[in-house]
Structure 1
Amino acid sequence: MIADPRSVAGKQLVIDETTRILVVGAGPAGVAAARAAQAGGAQVVLIDENPVPYETMAEHVPQIWGGRMGGAVRNRNAIQEQMLDARPDLMQLFEAGVDIRLGTACWGLFTNQANLGWMPGRVAGLLDIEKNSHLIGFEQAIIATGRRDMGLAFPGWDQPGVMGANAALTLSRLYGALDSKRAVMLGATSEALIAALDLIADGIEIVAVVEQAAASVADEQLVRRIHDAGIEIMLNEAPRGVTSDANGVTGLVLQDRTISCDTVILGVGAVPMIDLLQAAGADCRFDGMRSGYVPALGAGFETSLKAIRAVGDCAGIWAKKSADASLAEAEGRLAAAAALDAIGLAAAAPDIAVPRPERSGDPAGDDLGDYRKAWVHASVIGAPSGTHVCQCEEITAAELLDVSPPHYLDVPRLPNRQRSLAEILGDGPPDPDHIKRLTRAGMGPCQGRRCREQIQALLALHEDLPLAAVPLAGYRSPVRPMTLVAASLPEDPAIAAVWDSWFGMPRQWVPYWEVDEKYTVASLATEKDHVSE
């Protein structure tokens, strides 16, 4: 019997290097994990995608950068030096012998599971700052990819100067390259006010905080600090647009006033950055106490994928954890101890408690779903109908909820005939992945980072469902933009020989191994698989 050349059986994957423990993300949790793992005797590789290439930042990946990147971000060497000056802990880790790779993104994690059973172990795809891609094998991985910001549509939110809170802090604190002087913060949660105070410390003037709720929703101490700084918290307000010139935003338009500013900061929701984990197949669940969808974690912060652990903000965000980096560091040390034990390097577990969120009285933390829906209702639903929720594909909220076909099909818009999303999409809660396939919302270059949570909230509002009832829109690898050149990894010649069959392409020629011994009319059946010559 001739083996089918299209089978993965016997094919080899080219693995360029291996490490015992791979740590992805060099924030407080990732650095603590790498330090503990290295001290425990393991070979450790620590990667972090910062400094992010300017070309990637222009696509609002991994943050909503909002066009407020100073010219210095084009000079990678200067930004890397600035990073090391801002993060002396990285230099200490390097001097301790940890293999640290800055400007290196992890675009995929792969481990044998139900739908993938031929990997030669556990593998990660890396993309370095020179846009070279390769595969690294690992025994244990600790994912500490951090957070990003929820987008919020209103007229003019596509103008330079509308950016995420985390992007602003990265540019200001890590890169020293935030091109902003006067900013307005949208959102008065504890998370937003912490970000505002950090930006004030970096010399950025926060001229106002805008909140759609009728009362302040943050910790009272933080609210007092904002008032002491002379900043007004404007309640029962939502953006109605921006004024702008050739350089971007010049003001934020509210119901009955316009605030002069050069930057509008989106602080309505900090989102755990789980794209790498979810694309790998990890079980992720909605947890309002942890700021949205997070991986389900077991002992030692292990995800549902054996040997892959999650710590830091990607494992959950809450106000106390944001204000106290030692909580994320504790998660990193606990995960490292479990990873060391798993590879046979026994280490005593740190005598520290597992950090857990507590109810704070902050509606954005305790009732996150209602809070995010309220912001989308106040801003997106209240915006003119032509405002794009998905900027990449230029899709409005009305087109999304009507499930209008993508614009490139040039199909005349048809009335929805009062059908609900449940009737359009079938039984069960509305699924953002269905919406994505039918409208292309979330399929642009930013990979849904600006619209994913808005779409979730819009669907929940349309069907009067809790936010947690709307499934998470899917991620797929690569979770970071890659050029075709970077994506061309070395291939087993046996794979390249029948490359078209791997993509399910219509093929012209009958494979030689399926040619009948004698010619018959039946041998011309069109349903046979074909390959190229």
Structure 2
Amino acid sequence: MMELNFNGTDICAINGTRSPAEAHYDIVVVGAGPSGIAAAIEAAESGASVLLVDENPVSGALMGNDVPLYFGGRMTAATQNSDRMLEAIFMSMPAIETAMDAGVEVLLGTTAWGVYRNGPGVASLPEQLVGLADGERSWMVSFGGIVLATGARDLAMAFPGWNQPGVMGAAALQMLLSRYDAFAGRRVLVLGSHDLALETALLAHERGIEIAALVEVRDAPQGSAELLARVEAAGIAIRCGQVITLARGGVDGVSGATLSGGEEVVCDTICVAIGLIPSIELVDAMHGARALSVTRGGYIPSSEPTVSAVGDCAGLADIGFDHIAYRMEWMRGLSAVSAPDTIICQCEEVTRADLIGVQPPNYLTRPPAMCARSLETLIADGPPHPDQVKRLTRAGMGVCQGRRCRDQVAMLLAIEADKPFGTIPLASHRAPVRPLPLKIIADWHETEAMTAAWDVWFGIPTQWVPVQDLGTVHEEEHRQMLYTGMYE
């Protein structure tokens, strides 16, 4: 017999127990880049109530965990000054003020960590909700439509010595230089020679940073003729047909690098500029968005509840060549010079040998049965799935939430299985899609309906016993009362 409240409904039911949203907006835009601001302004000018959220300025703690970009520990102490960082955002992004003048409500330094909509497995939400958090608290707002303009993140690739301060991504370097003016390096070695690498090298050069060289795995530079001409005019060398074989380190991290041609390069920063990955964590954590609309420009959602993606998170622009083949060529080149003990997942210290051997990290015990398994046993059942490998090895379970290893794990599995990269899925995302302290994400107001049955929320008999009675003589009393229907 279930316990009923005064309305005659089961107090263990989820319906009606959700915390209310703090506010409602016709449109919520996540990401204040050019595409997100354009979408927010268009929606506001159409008469919609619009909330624009952006996680910048990113806290120094998140940057230290390489979230949302691969900062590699090369930011200055200025990133710890929140007021200074906020001022830098407004100075480098004047379009934010334009959006505010158009009637858009803007929240900076605010993370969107999850989007929730009714669908398979979820039918109790009163409205569509997006979870937000800043440095102090977490809360929910409801929306009619949501526009994701979350941009792109860096593709990280492992090589000997990459797991130390000073190895970073191109998008992170560009942000530190152009948005925050907070880059701590002085001499940079850039991996790659396509437009991303060339643009990053030129930006750093213009800001007074010395470029040691660009390194290209292919036998010829891959970028556009116009950018290559500018790089040549700047006197920046490109080393073709080579990869990095070692990042040497010191007290402050990277101090130099060795190339496969034998050259020793002095540098304090190694910038991985091989490619970018659309930031689709929010969509993926929803298990695929229904009625998803995609565009590379601004977008005004329709009157129907929608999830829209704009800008780089909707897919990178056509870069004129097979970027998958290019990235796989880099992965094979770096794998050829990487020893078995090369770290793949920095957070969990999973090595290349651990990944291929499907072993947990060294801080966990490895009984004989576990030591006997390998990737071959998984491949025999079909293409290996990174989610399965993640559970067995913990690769991707760390605080960076797989941003440094998610894509390269799939690439390595494709190589080991001798399968095209597209046949290997990527590890899935789950909310929260940003690492949040428990004191922030748990600090929610609970309704009386939630409090009434918090310890038995799903009606499972073993959860019916209050915590204070577990392990006492009263535990069995509760069980008997449940089974005999004595609970009123």
- Give the secondary structure class of the aligned counterpart of 1:169: helix
Measured in 1, the distance between the counterparts of 2:305 and 2:381 equals 33
Aligned pairs (5 A) from 1:354-393: 357=318, 360=320, 362=321, 367-393=322-348
CA deviation map 1:249-274 (0-9, x unaligned): 11121120111111100111201011
Superposition deviation, residue 515 in structure 1: 2.5
- Give the secondary structure class of the aligned counterpart of 1:447: coil
1:234 to 234, 239, 245: 239
- Give the secondary structure class of the aligned counterpart of 2:150: coil
Q: CA, structure 1 residues 79+416, in 2 after alignment: closer, same or farther (shift >3 Å)?
A: same
TM normalised by structure 2 equals 0.88
1:58 — aligned with what? 64
- Give the secondary structure class of the aligned counterpart of 1:20: strand
**Aligned 8 A contact 2:293 2:309 in 1:** no
Measured in 1, the distance between the counterparts of 2:391 and 2:370 equals 19
1:402 to 357, 364, 370: 357
Measured in 1, the distance between the counterparts of 2:123 and 2:153 equals 32
**Aligned 8 A contact 2:145 2:301 in 1:** no
* 1:225 maps onto 2:230 in alignment: yes
CA deviation map 1:247-300 (0-9, x unaligned): 12111211201111111001112010111111022269xxxxxxxxxx784896
1:515 to 449, 473, 483: 483
**Aligned 8 A contact 2:344 2:351 in 1:** yes
Q: CA, structure 1 residues 249+496, in 2 after alignment: closer, same or farther (shift >3 Å)?
A: same
- Give the secondary structure class of the aligned counterpart of 1:474: coil
CA deviation map 1:134-154 (0-9, x unaligned): 001111111000111011111
- Total equivalences in the alignment: 462
2:466 — aligned with what? none
Aligned pairs (5 A) from 1:286-325: 297=294, 306-318=305-317
CA deviation map 1:101-155 (0-9, x unaligned): 1100101011111121111111000012x33110011111110001110111112
Measured in 1, the distance between the counterparts of 2:119 and 2:227 equals 45
One-letter amino acid matched to 1:149: D
Superposition deviation, residue 9 in structure 1: 2.5
One-letter amino acid matched to 1:110: Y
Aligned pairs (5 A) from 1:73-88: 73-88=79-94
Cα RMSD for the two superposed structures: 2.6
- Give the secondary structure class of the aligned counterpart of 1:142: strand
CA deviation map 1:482-531 (0-9, x unaligned): 1111112212233334334458896454567732169xxxxxxxxxxxx9
**Aligned 8 A contact 2:378 2:384 in 1:** no
Structure 2 gaps, min length 5: 3-8, 464-469
Please identify, of 183-192 and 48-57, the stretch whose mean Cα deviation from structure 2 is larger: 183-192
2:427 — aligned with what? 473
- Give the secondary structure class of the aligned counterpart of 2:238: strand
Please identify, of 376-385 and 251-260, the stretch whose mean Cα deviation from structure 2 is larger: 376-385
2:5 — aligned with what? none
1:451 to 395, 400, 405: 405
- Give the secondary structure class of the aligned counterpart of 1:485: helix
Measured in 1, the distance between the counterparts of 2:242 and 2:431 equals 39
**Aligned 8 A contact 2:130 2:141 in 1:** yes
Measured in 2, the distance between the counterparts of 1:84 and 1:424 equals 51
1:115 to 93, 110, 121: 121
**Aligned 8 A contact 1:13 1:120 in 2:** no
2:153 to 137, 144, 148: 148
* 1:276 maps onto 2:282 in alignment: yes
Measured in 2, the distance between the counterparts of 1:224 and 1:453 equals 32
Aligned pairs (5 A) from 1:489-528: 489-502=444-457, 507=463, 508=470, 509=475, 510=478, 514-516=482-484
Percent of aligned positions that are identical: 38
- Give the secondary structure class of the aligned counterpart of 1:22: strand
Measured in 1, the distance between the counterparts of 2:51 and 2:457 equals 32
CA deviation map 1:199-248 (0-9, x unaligned): 22333222211111222222222222222211111111111112222112
TM normalised by structure 1 equals 0.81
Measured in 2, the distance between the counterparts of 1:496 and 1:406 equals 40
**Aligned 8 A contact 1:183 1:207 in 2:** yes
* 1:433 maps onto 2:416 in alignment: no
